[in-house]
Chain A
C-alpha cells in the first residue's frame, strides 16, 4: 500500500460542491503536480463534512487542520505554505466568534467538538466512492458478524437491546419492527430503505448517502438477513443525483466484492438491492404510498392495517427503515446493543442527526447524543443567531412538526420530551428562526407546503389543509377576523384526528404549535392588523414604518432629505413625533432593526437622518390652539409620554395642565439620559412647541407634596399618570446602605440636576442596560479613573445599545462579564469594595438567554469608591394615597384594566409611559401618549354621545419617489464624533451630527420599500 506524508481531504458533499469544491479539488491536483509532489500527498474527495455553512471545506491530515471557505485561488498558498513549508494558513482557519482567534484543529471547533458520531462516523473522512476506504474503517465487519456468527433472532435481540428507534420521525423501535416482519409468513419478503427526504430544510439522509453509502447498504444487509428478505429497494428522491450515483456505485462495488448479491460472504444468504427513484412527491415518504410508488402505482397511502410487516410491498411482508436508522445498525452489531443503549435518555437511545439550518451561524449537519438540550445544538454547536438578532423559535420535524420557542430551549432531544412541547423529533430538520420571522407566515408556509403535497385522497387532508391555508392567507393579508384562531384550532384538531395518513394527521401541527406559543402574533395580525416581525407586507407600506411604535413615515422623510426639502421632512416627522430631535439621538431604532437594507449591507441610519432633519430644518412657529372643550385634563409628569398626550389633547381643544416635580420638563429623557447624548436645548425646544399650543406646564410641583393627588382629581375631569420610573431597584445584598452606593437613576438625576456628585476614582456599575452604560460614561466624565461595568451574562446578552457600549469602551470603561456582586464592604460607613462572584452560563431562561449560575468559591473583591446598581427601575407612586381607588397590582405597580393598556381601576385616571410599562424607550412613551389622548377623548365623547373626533385635514406634502437604478453595496455613513480625550472632559454632545453631504449620501441608500408597483 502506498504511503503518503499528507492527506488533503476536500468535502464533496452537495453543499460544498455548490460553493465550488470541485474547482478546489482540481486546483489541488494541478498544484501538486506543478510542484512535483503528487506522490507525496494524497487528495481525497470526501462526503459531506457537516459544516456546510463554511464550505468549501478542507481538512489536512496528519495534523487535522481545518480550512473553511477555501477558494480555488487559495490553493497555491495552502500547498506552498502548509504542505511544503509546514506553516498552516491562519487566515483560512475557523475563528472563535467573539475573540476572532483562529482554531487550527477541527475537533477544537465547538461545532465539531460537541458532536458524537455514530451514524456519521465516516463523514468527511473517507472517499464515499471507494469501498476499500469504507472497509478500512471496519466496514462490512458487522454484516460479516451477523451473517456468520449470529442467527436472525440474535440480531433482533441486539437491536432490541440497543433501543434504536426509527429515525424517520415515527420513532418505532427498530428491533420490534424487524421481529414482526421476521415472524410474518411469506416466501418473499422485502427490505426497504426510505431515502425520500422531503421536509423543507432537511438534508440528513442526503448527506449520509453521499458520505457513506455503504453504511446504509450494510444496515440493509443485516436487516434483510434478519427478516429473510432477498430483495431490497432504496427509494431515493430523484432530486438527489449525487446520492443516487454514489449508491449505485456502492451497490456495484459491494457486488463485486461478494458483499451483496448471491451467497454473501459464502453464508448462503443472498440479497439484491436496487435504487428506485422517487418522482418528487412528499407523500411518497409515507410508507404505504412509498410501496405503491415502487409497485408503479400512484403514490397514495393505503389504509393500515394491514401493516407492511405483514402485507407491504406487493402485499408481501416488508420492513421499511429510514437512511439514518440503517446507518446506525452496523455499529450496534459491532459494539453491541448495550453500548448503544448506554448513550442517550431513558426512552431515546443513541444519537440523532440534525440538519441545522435557518437563522443560525453554523448551518450544517450535526449528530448529538440523545438528551442533548435543543439550545445546546443551536447555540453551542450552531453558534447562535447571526447578526445579533434574537432567537424566536426552531421548527423541528418540518411541516409535520412544531416550533420550539425560547422557553423550550432546555428541552432534551428525546422523542417524548419533544412531543410534550407540541413538536416532533421528525427526521431531524432543525430550522432556526430569529426575531425577523413572522410565526403566522411560517405557519402559512408550512400549510401551503402540506396542501400542495397532499395526495388528494382523503377529505380532511385535501380540503382541510386548503381551508386552513385560506384562513392563514387571509390573516397574513390583514383580512383576519374574530374567530379565525378558534376555527383554525377546530379544523386542526379534526384533521389530525381523521386524516388517512401521517401527512394529513400531522399537517396542522405547525399551526397548532405557533398558536400555542405565538398567539399574540396571530392576534396582532387579526385585531391590530400588525405583523410584529414586519414580514407580512400586505399589512404595511414599509417595514421600518411598521416597526416604529408611532409609525413614523421613515421612507417619506428620508426621500425628502434626498430631495433637499428638509422643512417638509420636518413637518412629516412632526405629524407623529413631537420629539424627533430627541429621538434622532436616543431612539433604539425598532425601525432600523427591520430595515431591508440591512439584509444587503447595513441598515439605514434612520435616527441620525432624523436628527439631521430636526437640527437643520426651518421650523414654523407653533400657534396656540383655542380651548373648545369644557373637560380639563391633568397630566402628572412632563416626560415624552405625558407631553405627547398633552399635545394631542390640546390640539383636540382640551385645557391641559402638566405637573412636574423637577425644574425642567422632559422627564426620564431629561433626567436619566446624560447631556452628552441628548443636549438640553434640544429637549427645551421641543417642549416649547408643546407649551405653545396652550399647554400649561407647572414645574417644581410635586404631586403629593405641593398639590395632593385627590385635589387634582377633584379639579380635573381626567388625570393621566405619566410619572416615569425614577426609582432604581436595589441589589438586595449586604452593604447597600453604605455611602458611595447610588441607584443609577438617582445618580444620573443628581448629575443632571447639576448637583456636585463625587464618585472617587474607582467606580463599579452593575448591569448591562442603557442606564448602566449611561452611568459608566457619566462617571468617566465626573473624573473617575477606573470605571468597571459588572455584568452577569455575556456581551451578546447585554440589552444596552451596541454603539453605546463601544463608545463607553473607547472612553476607558471596562466591562467584566459573567460576574455578579454578592456583598458590599465598607469602612466607617463608607464603601470600600465589592465582593464579586464569577458566574457561568447554565440553562436557558424563558427569554432564550442562558441563566447565569454562580461558580462556588470564585469570589473576589474589587476595591471601589462608588457603586451604581443599574439593574432596573420602577415608578415612584407614593403620591397616590394608600386608600385611593387607583389600585395597585401585586407587584406594587398601578393596576391596568385588562386590554385597555392605559386605564387604571379608577374612573377618569389613566397611566402611561415607564410608570405603566417599566423602563422602556422614549418612542414607546410617545406612542402611549398618543394612545391615551385618543382613549381619553374617545371615552369622553362616547360618554357624552358625541361623534368621534375627526382630525383636521393635513397639508398635502408630495413625497418624491427617486431610487437609484442599481443598488451598490455601501455601509452606513459614519457619525462624526468628538475625540475621546475631548469628550470625556465635559458633557458636550459626543455625536456631532451629519453634514448635508453625509446625510444626502445616507438618504440615497434607502431602498424605498414603500414604493408600489403601478
Chain B
C-alpha cells in the first residue's frame, strides 16, 4: 500500500491517516486541533491538504490514507486556506502575546509566525471576557480560546471525566462544563489534562502566572513523589524556584503519558514551605529535636530491637505508604518478615 505525498511515494499501513504517514516520513503538515492521543475530528482545518480528484481540500489528520492517493501539502490553494484559518483564529478573540503565559509555547503563535501572517485583516471582537480564576489551580481565559476542542476531548477521551463539552452554536459556541458552570462548581477533579493539552494560552496554571514563560524556565524531568505510579513530570524551575509542574504536550513518556492528578500537577507548594520537615526529629524530654539521619536510624533500630526482644516479633507491625515505589514496598515487607520476623505488614492502598 502506498501513497504519494508531494511527489514522494510512501508506504503506509492501513488505518494510518495522511497526516500520520507524512509525519512518519518527515513531511511537515501543521496541526492545531489534532493530538496523537485523541481521535481526529478535523475541526481547525489548519492541516488541510490537496488530494487529487477530491472536490475540496481535506483535513489530513482525519483522512485515512488510501492506496494510490496523491496528496499535495504545500500548494498555493492549501497555503491560502491554512493562512485564512489561522488569520481567522487570531482574530476570533484577543490573543495578547505580550503578557500571555503561553507565549513561546503556543501552537497558534508558531503557526501565525511560520505562515508569515503580518497582521490579520479582521478586527478583534469588541467584547472582552473576564478571566475565570476563582479557583486556586486553573485559570480560563476564554478570550484566547480557539475552539479546537482539545480540552473537551482530553477530558472525555483521556481522563474520561466528561466534564467539558461544547455549548452554544455558531458565534456563541464555547467550551466548558455543563450549563456554563465554572470548573469549581462542576464535576471537575482538576487533573489539569485540559491545561496540558490546550494549544494556546486559554488554560493555564494559576500559581505559575507571571512567574516565568517557556524561554525563562528550566524543565527538570522527575518522577512524581506523591504515589507509586511513577508519573513522569517536568518541574519548571526559575532561579532555583519551582514555578509550575508540566508534562509534555506530545511524545509524553510512560507510565502516565502526560497525565497527572490534582496533587502531581498542582501540589508543589510544599517544596519551599516553612513548615516542611527537612531533617529527622527525635522527641527528647517531651520536645522534638533535630537529629541526623544516622542518629534517627540508630534510634529506630534500637527501639525495634528492644520491642522484638522484650515482646516478640509479632509485637511489631509495619504499615506502608502508597507514595513508595513497588521496590520500596518489597523491601519493606522483606524487612518485616525476614529481619523483624513478623507477618504484621500492610499497605494503605490494599483496601
Contact = CB atoms under 8 A, between A and B. Distances in A.
Nearest to B83: A494
28 contacts: A283-B169, A298-B165, A300-B166, A303-B63, A306-B64, A451-B170, A451-B171, A453-B170, A454-B171, A455-B169, A455-B170, A458-B42, A458-B43, A459-B43, A459-B45, A460-B45, A460-B85, A460-B88, A463-B92, A464-B84, A465-B170, A467-B122, A487-B121, A496-B56, A498-B81, A499-B45, A500-B43, A505-B56
B171 A498 contact: no
Interface string B115-127: 0000001100000
A500 B56 CA distance: 10
A346 interface: no
Given A462-B147, A497-B56, A452 B170 contact: yes
Nearest to B152: A298
Given A281-B169, A462-B147, A498 B63 contact: no
Contacts of B172: 456
A638 B56 CA distance: 61
Contacts of A347: none
Contacts of A499: 45, 56
Given A452-B170, A454-B170, A459-B89, A500 B45 contact: yes
Contact of A305 (B48, B64, B168): B64
Interface string B143-176: 0001101000000000000000110111111000
A928 to B, nearest CB: 38
A466 interface: yes
A457 interface: yes
Contacts of A680: none
Given A306-B64, A456-B168, 17 more contacts: A303-B63, A452-B169, A452-B170, A454-B173, A455-B170, A456-B169, A456-B173, A457-B43, A457-B149, A459-B46, A462-B170, A462-B173, A467-B88, A467-B122, A490-B84, A498-B84, A500-B45
A456 B77 contact: no
A7 interface: no
A498 B62 contact: no
| Across the A-B interface, the 5 shortest Cβ-Cβ residue pairs | A456-B173, A463-B88, A303-B62, A498-B81, A303-B42
Given A302-B41, A303-B42, A491 B168 contact: no
A459 B169 contact: no
Contacts of B147: 456-457, 459, 462
Contacts of B88: 459-460, 463-464, 467
B56 A498 contact: yes
A458 B59 CA distance: 11
Nearest to A283: B169
Interface in B40-87: 40-46, 48, 56-57, 59, 62-64, 77, 80-81, 84-85
B56 A454 contact: no
B146 to A, nearest CB: 8
Interface of A: 281, 283, 298, 300, 302-303, 305-306, 451-460, 462-467, 470, 487, 490-491, 494, 496-500, 505
A862 B77 CA distance: 67
Contacts of B43: 457-459, 500
A499 B55 CA distance: 12
Nearest to A491: B84
Contacts of B146: 459
Nearest to B50: A497
A498 B63 CA distance: 13
B6 to A, nearest CB: 19
**B-side binding surface: helix, strand, loop or mixed?**
loop
A454 B45 contact: no
A305 B59 CA distance: 11
A35 B89 CA distance: 73
Contacts of B149: 457
Contacts of A283: 169
Contacts of A458: 42-45
A490 B81 CA distance: 10
A457 B91 CA distance: 16
A459 B44 contact: yes
Contacts of A456: 147, 166, 168-170, 172-173
A455 B56 contact: no
A484 to B, nearest CB: 11
A464 B44 CA distance: 12
Contacts of A457: 41, 43, 147, 149, 166, 173
Query: What is the size category of the interface that chain B forms with chain A?
Result: 35 or more
Given A494-B84, A497-B56, A505-B56, A453 B41 contact: no
Nearest to A469: B171
B168 to A, nearest CB: 7
Interface in B186-218: none
A475 to B, nearest CB: 15
Nearest to B121: A487
Contacts of B84: 460, 464, 490-491, 494, 498
Contacts of B62: 303
Given A460-B45, A463-B89, A500-B43, A455 B173 contact: yes
A494 B80 contact: yes
Nearest to B171: A466
A453 B169 contact: yes
B270 to A, nearest CB: 41
A498 B166 contact: no
A497 B57 contact: yes
Query: Which of B45, B81, B91 has the largest number of chain A CB atoms within 10 A?
Result: B45
A465 B173 CA distance: 13
B76 to A, nearest CB: 12
Nearest to A495: B84
Nearest to B82: A498
Contacts of A500: 42-43, 45, 59
Contacts of A465: 170
A454 B169 contact: yes
B17 to A, nearest CB: 10
A494 B80 CA distance: 7
A500 B62 CA distance: 11
A460 B80 CA distance: 12
A497 B122 CA distance: 20
Contacts of B41: 302-303, 457
A749 B49 CA distance: 71
Contacts of B166: 298, 300, 456-457
B241 to A, nearest CB: 39
Interface string B281-296: 0000000000000000
Contacts of B56: 496-499, 505
Contacts of B40: 303
Contacts of B169: 281, 283, 452-456
A631 to B, nearest CB: 46
A305 B63 contact: yes
B44 A497 contact: no
A298 B170 CA distance: 13
A494 B122 CA distance: 15
Contacts of A490: 84
Contacts of A463: 88-89, 91-92
A875 to B, nearest CB: 47
Contacts of A451: 170-171
A453 B43 CA distance: 16
Nearest to B59: A303
Nearest to A282: B169
B81 A497 contact: yes
A498 B165 contact: no
Nearest to A487: B121
Contacts of B165: 298
A291 to B, nearest CB: 15
A500 B43 CA distance: 7
A496 B165 CA distance: 27
A886 to B, nearest CB: 45
A250 to B, nearest CB: 32
Contacts of A298: 165-166
Contacts of A462: 147, 170-171, 173
Given A305-B64, A500-B42, A452 B89 contact: no
